[in-house]
Amino acid sequence: MTLSTTTHLNFHGDARAALEFYGRVFDGTVSTTTYAQVGMTAEATGAEKVVFGILVAADGFRLMAYDVPGETRGAAAVAGSTRRENGATLTDRAFFVSLQGGTLDEVSARWDALADGATVIEPLAASPWSAGFGMLTDRFGVTWVVDVRAAQA
């Protein structure tokens, strides 16, 4: 048996826009199913929101997302806080999404796309452990750690 994990992001009304954005960033195909498509009456509040969404890219990148039922809030309301202070990253977030690539060119292209409308916490640059490391919170409130995979000793 083969196990795998896929990052599953939870939104409050922005899942479709986020998946479409990430589809462009990662050059992937997005599929969504709405609450109405799984039986919620079309007139119900939130019926048009995403109950199941997935992005699949040719290189194997996958990302899932949905809209949490209930009150719709924008990314700013659910983003939390991540910042650099005195050389350390401080956050109240439960998780970050880690994106690693084999080369600086590979991660730079994704970084540039994710940075559109983002708050850069730490610019993508060489670090003691990587040819490129950076951190940002994108326009949907998701914090990404982007780096070049370190060579194994």
Handedness of CA 94, 99, 100, 103 (dihedral sign): negative
What pLDDT score does 100 carry? 92
Provide φ and ψ at 25, rounded to 5°: -60, -45
- CATH architecture of the domain with residue range 7-72: 2-Layer Sandwich (3.30)
Tell me which of 3.30.460.20, 3.30.720.110, 3.50.50.60, 3.40.50.2300 is the CATH number of domain 79-148.
3.30.720.110
- In tens, the pLDDT along 34-53 reads 988 988 888 888 889 999 99
Residues of the chain with pLDDT > 70, as a percent, come to 86
Rounded to 10°, the helix 104-114/15-25 angle is: 150
Asked if 130 contacts 147 with a C-beta cutoff of 8 angstroms, the reply is: yes
**Do 79-148 and 7-72 fall under one CATH topology?**
yes
Mean pLDDT in residue range 117-145: 93
Beta-carbon count within 10 A of 119 CB? 16
Higher pLDDT, 71 or 25: 25
Distance between CA atoms of residues 150 and 153, nearest Å: 9
What is the model's pTM?
0.82
Q: What is the pLDDT of residue 88?
A: 67
Average pLDDT, the chain: 87
pLDDT at 153 over 80: no
Sorted by where each begins, the domain ranges of the chain are 7-72, 79-148
